[in-house]
Structures are given as structure tokens and as C-alpha cells.
Amino acid sequence: MFSVMTQHPPLWLILAAVAAFGAPAQAGDKASDHEAARAALRRHEILPLTRILTIVESRVPGDVLKVKLEEDKGRMIYELKVLGVNGRVREVEIDAKNGAVLKVEDD
């Protein structure tokens, strides 16, 4: 785990977040999911994970446990699990295109 305020996320976490799209992928589909996410980032259709982590830290201070990038009805959503400073795990959903916080709730 890492604190968003004190460290940059490890590269594997960034790649994992950019790689995950809605439905579970088969082994052969993972490479295409990674490329699709990278292409969306290059086209500025989604924000980079570093920006998303800054937004999340401002709303839910703590340690990021998990990050997923999913598609929901044509909209890309970052879903994060955060262990808050109060010890509770919170689920945070962020619009991947504009960084709007869509949901913060106990997990």
C-alpha cells in the first residue's frame, strides 16, 4: 500500500488500472484491453491515474488498496478502494473523462 500524499503510485498499479475494462477478460484479451486503455489515454478520453489519485486523496484521505477502470453504459469509470485514516474501506467512483466524483460509500 502507499499513501497518495507521500509517494507516487507504483507503475504496476497504474498499468493495472489502465488495463481493467468492465467485463473480465480472457488471457488473450488482456493485451487488447491494455492497448485500448492506453489509446484512450493518448486521445485524452480518460484522465491519467495520477490525476485521479489526487482527486481521491482530497475526498477520502488514506491508502489506495485497489484500482479498476471499467466501462459502464459507454462511460469510463475509475473505481477505487481506499483504506481511510479512520480504518474504514471506502469505494470511490470517478468519471475517467472529467474527474467528477460519482460515488463515495462504505465498502
pLDDT at 23 (0 to 100): 44
Average pLDDT over residues 64-85: 93
Residue 19: pLDDT band (50, 70, 90) is low
Choice between 35 and 12, residue whose per-residue pLDDT is larger: 35
Enter the DSSP assignment of 35.
H
- The tens digit of pLDDT for each residue in 76-87 reads 999 999 999 999
Distance CA 16, CA 8 (A): 15
Q: Is the pLDDT of residue 49 over 70?
A: yes
Residue 29: pLDDT band (50, 70, 90) is low
Fold of 11-106: Nuclear Transport Factor 2; Chain: A, (3.10.450)
Distance, C-alpha 77 to centroid of its chain: 8
Q: How do the domains of the chain map onto residue ranges?
A: 11-106
Distance CA 23, CA 17 (A): 14
Query: Would you list the DSSP string of 38-99?
Result: HHHHHTTSS--HHHHHHHHHHHS-EEEEEEEEEEETTEEEEEEEEEETTS-EEEEEEETTT-
